[in-house]
Structure 1
């Protein structure tokens, strides 16, 4: 049986089959991950920062998010693990000399190479376009390809010379397995920092408590017995120190009694003349001045 015009429909035109799964364009995915900010979806421009999970952001977009977390923004779940500006690291990127920017394709008369990246690896020269694995060092922020770190094994940065460890290497825009490994490492790192802060607080509290209790003297201690007044001793008994007995000087007076410098036998006459109690410091009546008033009414 035909339709209007004598055409015969085919099976695929009458029977609806299952919907085809839409496949994501790999080139578009690479552009979105390596050339656009993961938070604001704007093109990456310096300064560029990366988190512990290896995602790339514009620094100003992260600062705006931290200043106002209540604002509704798309892709806010991507930065949910960022608590402050210390959780991101500014990247030290190397420019690609073959990169001409967006002005070369503004007229539309040239072929646009999507695989030409703005940044390259300073050691091997690979372009940071998503085809090769790249990573950055948490200590200094320098970016290298994974091939450069694997082939040239060293404990210092190839670009700035700062030392680093294997735990400081973070893969940029890694796969599912890399993201899970970085997630576990980030949680362990934060747990260690939290325990270290708790220990520091406990030590500070212990130091303050020890300082506050240091001047206190409990009853029955040797210090308390030694600090008792000497007036409790019998009046008839006199104790002398070993230094006083050896020098032949008189025994020390009881506590609270005043002792004149002039009566000390061990002091020289020159030393005694410094004080006003010396005979040379005293004046006779002839040396003292007469009493004079300050007004001229008394003659």
Structure 2
């Protein structure tokens, strides 16, 4: 316990109380959300994109993540919902004319305003530093403050003029409850898109099968129409009454040709001299007959 040399310990030195909760610097927290990429923790630089949950990233970091998802990253859980580059939207930001950048304070001997932001609202001029709520449109990517959209109500984008709906607004770097609300809306939207895609594919499949069936029916009908049908009684009587002579257009026998000589006709097997009598015909014919 000590007490050597007449020292008297105090109560807070002997009894350990609960640890004090460390307070997070609000300025540092706001700067981490609004000035740094949520994935790579590097400073934001154009082009800047935002996901459906309102997190802000550098586009280069998102592309590197999509190209190699197996690589170990400290903040990979924040982009687990991003499946492709279509799940993020490039932001159309408005530069802050009062932003001087970081080159003026290279030596570190100048005062740096932590609340000065790189971008502002194009309508009311509020700085995008976390002190005010900002939203972006999923249709065009333009960014505005919540105050501007509340005071100047419209269904057309203030910056580019594209029409939008209330469902297209996404809160940037919102609170925990706002992020949960955005996640629920994202899941519902993806489920609806998946259902519509499956319905479209099944509809296309059935239409293809139907068209194929109709084509097969047309082909079978055409074959039935071209197939010869049963002859009528008149045609049968004509066929029966037809003469038994040589058919027109058939080949004539060489022996019937009057313009050929008898010597020429004897060269062929159809000549009478080439025919054998009944006595000359053997009972069987073999390839190599032997006579004993």
Could you say which TM-score interval applies, normalised by the shorter chain? Answer: 0.7 to 0.9
Aligned to 1:164: 164
| Superposition RMSD in Å | 2.3
Q: Within 5 Å, which residues of 2 pair with 1:267-282?
A: none
Is 1:26 equivalent to 2:26 in the alignment? yes
For residues 78-117 of structure 1, the aligned pairs below 5 Å read 78-117=78-117
Residues 54 and 171, structure 1, Cα contact 8 Å, conserved in 2: yes
Listed one character per residue, the Cα deviations across residues 274-295 of structure 1 (whole Å, up to 9, x for unaligned) are xxxxxxxxxxxxxxxxxxxxxx
Question: Against the structure 1 CA distance between its residues 225 and 107, is the aligned structure 2 distance closer, same or farther, given a 3 Å change threshold?
Answer: closer
Contact 1:121 1:143 in 2 (8 A): yes
**TM-score, with structure 1 as normaliser:** 0.73
What residue in structure 2 maps to residue 61 of structure 1?
61
Q: Distance in 1 between matches of 2:233 and 2:179?
A: 85
* 1:125 CA displacement: 0.3
1:115-264 maps to which residues of 2 (within 5 A)?
A: 115-217=115-217, 228-229=227-228, 232-235=231-234
Matched position secondary structure for 1:49: strand
CA drift of 1:189 comes to 0.7
In structure 2, C-alpha distance between the alignment counterparts of 1:217 and 1:58, rounded to whole Å:
58
Q: Where in structure 2 are there 5+ consecutive unaligned residues?
A: 237-292
Superposed CA offset, 1:10-41 (max 9, x none): 32233222111111111111011111111001
In 1, the alpha carbon distance for the partners of 2:215 and 2:18 equals: 86
CA deviations over 1:210-267 (Å, ceiling 9, x no partner): 222223239xx98777555356233359xxxxxxxxxxxxxxxxxxxxxxxxxxxxxx
Write the distance in 1 (CA, Å) between the matches of 2:13 and 2:216.
98
- Deviation for aligned residue 1:120: 0.2
Change (3 A) 1:222 1:48: closer
What are structure 1's unaligned runs of at least 5 residues? 238-299
By how many angstroms is 1:80 displaced?
0.3
**Farther-moved stretch of structure 1 (159-168 vs 19-28):** 19-28
Once the two structures are TM-superposed, the CA of residue 112 in structure 1 deviates from its matched residue by 1.0
Length-normalised TM-score, structure 2? 0.75
Show CA shifts across 1:117-155 (max 9, x none): 000000010000001000000000000001111111111
Q: Which moved more, 1:198-207 or 1:30-39?
A: 198-207
CA distance in 1, matches of 2:131, 2:221: 78
Greater Cα radius of gyration, structure 1 or 2: 2
